[in-house]
Amino acid sequence: MTWSLAELVAALRTSTRIVALTGAGMSAASGLQTRKQLWQRFTRDDAVSMARFRAEPATLWAVIRAFWGDRPHPANAGHQALARLPNLAAIVTQNVDELHQAAAAAGRSTPVIELHGSLSRTRCLDCGRSGEATAQALAAAGLPLPPRCACGGVLRPEVVLFGERVPAAAMASARAHAAAADLLLVIGCAMDVSPARELPLVAARAGARIVELKRRPSRLAAAVLVHHVAGAAEDILPAATTALATSEPGCDARP
């Protein structure tokens, strides 16, 4: 079901507990590559699998270097607008860039649940010590890959690789927020990776409306009733928050 911006704004206005589920499309406007772009250069998900990392750790670090590049990537207008959204209870993200935290609205403490970890944290596979530099900085430094700890062990980013499980605590928190939401915003997600793709079903079973913000609909509509708002997050979200702040309350957009 296609929705207009006005219908999205009406749904946002009448919702009291909004949860956002975000994916790579959320950060594309910050200059970060999506999986689709990266897999034009690397062997799809095998390049970021735990099995490949154990056998050839330099490959994962080459992916990170390609993903992050050699320049900063600030939070974009979509991140900023989402952080200001009234009644936002939580952000559940598949992204590992910490741009939601960078965009956090002053005076608000909206939880950000990182399903797949963060590139800002690293640790040594041998001694377990936390790295002193972020994975972004290590990948961009131009040094031989993989980077190593002072003990000589290989450093790994604190992200969930294919073949590893999403931390149980993070997934439990994400499920609880999805079940308590009355509106779930699915933003820039391909919806082809578990267990994140289960969250809209959790929310829908609990009675939430599901709204997808994406240029083209994902496969999510095959599993649950979805209201699709076509476009990019960096365009839709600022327009919606501006409309919420300036327009008069309107009618409920429930079908």
- Which class for 238: exposed (0-12), middle (13-18), buried (19 or more C-beta within 10 A)? middle
As averages over each run of 10 residues, the pLDDT of the chain (255 residues) reads 96 98 96 88 88 94 91 94 97 97 88 97 95 92 92 96 96 98 97 94 98 94 95 98 78 41
Does 61 map to a domain?
A: no
- pLDDT for position 248: 53
CA-CA distances (angstroms) from residue 182 to 112, 138, 209?
Answer: 18, 41, 6
The CATH number assigned to the domain holding 12 equals 3.40.50.1220
Residue 207 corresponds to which amino acid? G
Torsion, Cα 159 164 166 169, to 10 degrees, reads -100
Alpha carbon distance 81, 115 (integer Å): 21
Does 96 map to a domain?
A: yes
Does 124 map to a domain?
A: no
- Here the tokens at position 102 are 């960078």
Distance of CA 210 to the CA centre of its chain: 17
Q: Which helix (H) or strand (E) holds 65?
A: helix 57-68
Number of domains in the chain: 1
Spatial contact of 91 and 82, defined as CB atoms under 8 Å apart? yes
Q: How many CB atoms lie within 10 A of CB 141?
A: 13
Q: φ, ψ for residue 43 (rounded to 5)?
A: -80, 70
Residue 186 corresponds to which amino acid? V
Q: What's the domain range around 177?
A: 5-32+73-116+165-246
Residues serving a catalytic function are: 116
Does 44 map to a domain?
A: no
Does 224 map to a domain?
A: yes
Does 57 map to a domain?
A: no
Spatial contact of 213 and 236, defined as CB atoms under 8 Å apart? yes
Does 94 map to a domain?
A: yes
Alpha carbon distance 149, 123 (integer Å): 8
